[in-house]
């Protein structure tokens, strides 16, 4: 009870209690005929009751000021609870103080927040450019890091005062060259795969790590995947033909990347290219005609002669791989010949081409007499040669011979559902279509 020494006389408390002379008194249960009786005329049993109750109330009253009600707090009210401290974004990999780190390393983050940024500097203070992967958890340097160099990593928005440092590996004694079948600044057809070749076989157990470092960016974005044709060649294609006008940025970020147990990628390779108009060539053996369509419109039908019965042409989806104004063709022991052929466009590794064949003009559009190539007239060969670019698709159907998988850029001869199985990584997830929105009103801006 918090009162003056003289008590709190006459102060009425909660639930009918009275404070007199420093004692809290309560109305008695049972026979109470008047205030005087309540104060003075009660018997001993009643007195004992009052004393017990007074002791209880007095204990409660000690927690409050005289005559004031005890403060009540809602159990759900957390206004007095200290705020939970936000977990800082930190560097998860490489570990702080790590040495012998690959120059192809990436910066893994823990507790990454949207908009987190990473800064890497070397011992001279030079900053390394880079960007975050789509997962928001991994930051990729834009160039290969230097060998035997110390780096410091700082993450923005972190309240951790420490910084992560690591040192890269010394230059390895054995390296493997990596190349891509594209030239910087060139334009390619809509079926052009990104063809990556390694100077020697790479380990199968490294395929997944390698794929992660083969970076293809398309604008507009298009879903694509890698397919391993062999231990030294992997291709990338989109789900459907590239959209005309697509820009491609390809970075083979393999410099310093482990490719075998003892060999590493020699350096990074970067190529920027463009996808041109959509040109599609299709030949039907039943009609001996080739249809050439550009951007969905048939622009010419060309009579052809395909491979004769002993050397049939392959049926399947092919791609123009190479072009030359002339090449020397040679037969084998069973059919020896040497012939200079003009306006040639290669579509298989095994030696099938589209080319000018003036000697078979009388057969073109009627019968098959070639060694497996697509024969066309000189005029049509020149016209077609001047029209096509590498990466244009060429499909043949109706012949008795099936195109062998891997005999050229056969990427389009498998459906997407089968092609994705050739990757060492899980199949990519196609983004959900954007939700449709109501049509704008007549007064709304449609810019």
Q: pLDDT tier at 446 (50, 70, 90 boundaries)?
A: very low
What is the Cα Rg of the chain in Å? 42
* Domain end call among 133, 168, 203: 168
Question: What is the per-residue pLDDT for 111?
Answer: 85
In a domain, 415, yes or no: no
Question: What is the per-residue pLDDT for 406?
Answer: 98
Question: What is the per-residue pLDDT for 418?
Answer: 98
Exposure on the CB side of residue 319, measured as CA atoms within 13 A: 24
CATH of the domain at 250: 2.60.40.3710
* Residue spans of alpha helices (H) in 240-394: 378-387
Peptide bond into 365 cis (omega under 30): no
Residues 157 and 198 both lie in one domain? no
Averaged pLDDT, 66-70? 48
Averaged pLDDT, 89-105? 95
Q: In angstroms, rounded to a whole number, what is the distance separating the alpha carbons of residues 353 and 362? A: 19
In a domain, 66, yes or no: no
% of the chain beyond a pLDDT of 90: 68
Q: Is the dihedral of CA 304, 308, 311, 312 positive or negative?
A: positive
Question: What is the per-residue pLDDT for 9?
Answer: 43
In a domain, 1, yes or no: no
Question: What is the per-residue pLDDT for 329?
Answer: 93
Residues 56 and 145 both lie in one domain? no
In a domain, 27, yes or no: yes
Averaged pLDDT, 21-31? 42
Question: What is the per-residue pLDDT for 21?
Answer: 41
Provide long-range contacts, Cβ within 8 A and 24+ apart, for 87-95. Answer: 87/111, 88/157, 88/158, 88/159, 88/160, 89/113, 89/116, 89/155, 89/157, 89/158, 90/155, 90/158, 90/160, 90/164, 91/153, 91/155, 91/164, 94/164, 94/166, 95/164, 95/166
Residues 288 and 387 both lie in one domain? yes
In a domain, 439, yes or no: no
Averaged pLDDT, 6-33? 42
In a domain, 330, yes or no: yes
443 compared with 276, residue with greater pLDDT: 276
Residues 307 and 264 both lie in one domain? no
Question: What is the per-residue pLDDT for 440?
Answer: 36
Residues 296 and 328 both lie in one domain? yes
Residues 266 and 194 both lie in one domain? yes
- CA 334 to each of CA 313, 329, 368: distance values in angstroms, whole numbers, following the listed order: 17, 15, 19
CATH of the domain at 313: 2.40.440.10
Both structure tokens of 408 = 């050229």
CATH of the domain at 97: 2.60.40.3780
Residues annotated as catalytic (active site), given as ranges: 355, 373
Backbone angles phi, psi at 412, to 5 degrees: -90, 5
Domain that holds residue 41: 11-61
Averaged pLDDT, 105-119? 89
* Domain end call among 148, 168, 188: 168
Question: What is the per-residue pLDDT for 307?
Answer: 97
134 compared with 324, residue with greater pLDDT: 324
For the chain, how many structural domains are there in total?
4
For 369-417, how does the pLDDT look when each residue is reduced to its tens digit (9 = 90+)? 999 999 999 999 999 999 999 999 999 999 999 999 999 999 999 999 9
Averaged pLDDT, 108-116? 85
Is 187:245 a contact under the CB 8 Å cutoff? no
Q: In angstroms, rounded to a whole number, what is the distance separating the alpha carbons of residues 289 and 396? A: 10
Averaged pLDDT, 12-20? 43
6 pLDDT more than 60? no
Q: pLDDT tier at 47 (50, 70, 90 boundaries)?
A: very low
The per-residue pLDDT of the chain, averaged, comes to 84
* Domain end call among 247, 275, 303: 275
78 pLDDT more than 90? no
For 297-336, how does the pLDDT look when each residue is reduced to its tens digit (9 = 90+)? 999 999 999 999 999 999 999 999 999 999 999 888 877 8
DSSP 422: G
Q: Is the dihedral of CA 390, 391, 392, 394 positive or negative?
A: positive
Residues 344 and 242 both lie in one domain? no
pTM: 0.77
In a domain, 138, yes or no: yes
Residues 394 and 285 both lie in one domain? yes
427 pLDDT more than 70? yes
Burial of residue 38 (number of CB atoms within 10 Å: 0-12, 13-18, 19+): middle
Residues 143 and 162 both lie in one domain? yes
In a domain, 261, yes or no: yes
Q: pLDDT tier at 181 (50, 70, 90 boundaries)?
A: very high
Residues 47 and 142 both lie in one domain? no
377 compared with 87, residue with greater pLDDT: 377
Residues 106 and 182 both lie in one domain? no
Residues 304 and 375 both lie in one domain? yes
Question: What is the per-residue pLDDT for 99?
Answer: 97
């Amino acid at each position: 009870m918090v009162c003056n020494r003289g008590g709190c006389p006459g102060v009425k408390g909660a639930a009918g209690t009275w404070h007199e002379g420093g004692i809290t008194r309560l109305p008695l249960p049972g026979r109470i005929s008047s205030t005087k009786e309540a104060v003075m005329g009660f018997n001993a049993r009643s007195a004992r009751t009052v004393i017990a109750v007074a002791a209880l109330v007095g204990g409660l009253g000690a927690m409050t000021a005289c005559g004031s009600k005890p403060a009540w707090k809602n159990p759900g009210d957390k206004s007095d609870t200290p705020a939970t401290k936000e977990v800082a974004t930190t560097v998860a990999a490489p570990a702080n103080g790590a040495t012998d780190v690959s120059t192809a390393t990436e910066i893994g983050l823990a507790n990454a927040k949207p908009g987190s940024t990473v800064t890497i500097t070397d011992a001279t203070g030079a900053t390394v450019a880079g960007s975050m992967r789509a997962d928001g958890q991994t930051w990729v340097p834009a160039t290969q890091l230097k060998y035997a160099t110390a780096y410091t990593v700082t993450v923005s928005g972190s309240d951790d005062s420490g910084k992560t440092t690591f040192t890269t590996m010394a230059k390895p004694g054995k390296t493997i060259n990596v190349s891509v079948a594209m030239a910087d600044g060139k334009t390619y057809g809509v079926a052009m795969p990104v063809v990556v070749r390694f100077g020697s076989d790479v380990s199968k157990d490294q395929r997944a790590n390698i794929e992660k470092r083969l970076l293809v960016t398309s604008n507009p974005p298009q879903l694509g995947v890698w397919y391993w044709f062999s231990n030294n060649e992997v291709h990338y294609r989109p789900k459907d033909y590239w959209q005309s006008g697509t820009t491609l940025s390809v970075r083979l970020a393999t410099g310093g990347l482990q490719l075998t147990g003892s060999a590493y990628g020699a350096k990074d390779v970067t190529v920027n290219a463009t996808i041109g108009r959509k040109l599609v060539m299709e030949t039907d053996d039943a009609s001996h005609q080739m249809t050439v369509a550009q951007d969905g419109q048939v622009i010419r039908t060309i009579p052809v002669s395909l491979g004769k019965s002993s050397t049939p042409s392959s049926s399947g989806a092919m791609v123009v791989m190479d072009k030359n104004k002339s090449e020397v063709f040679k037969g084998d022991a069973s059919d020896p010949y040497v012939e200079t052929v003009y306006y040639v466009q290669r579509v298989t590794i095994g030696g099938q081409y589209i080319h000018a064949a003036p000697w078979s003009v009388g057969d073109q559009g009627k019968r098959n007499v070639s060694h497996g190539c697509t024969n066309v007239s000189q005029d049509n060969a020149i016209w077609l040669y001047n029209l096509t670019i590498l990466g244009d698709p060429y499909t043949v159907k109706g012949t008795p011979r099936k195109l062998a998988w891997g005999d050229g850029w056969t990427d389009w001869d498998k459906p997407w559902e089968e092609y994705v199985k050739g990757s060492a990584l899980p199949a990519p997830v196609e983004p959900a279509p954007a939700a449709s929105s109501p049509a704008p009103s007549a007064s709304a801006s449609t810019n």
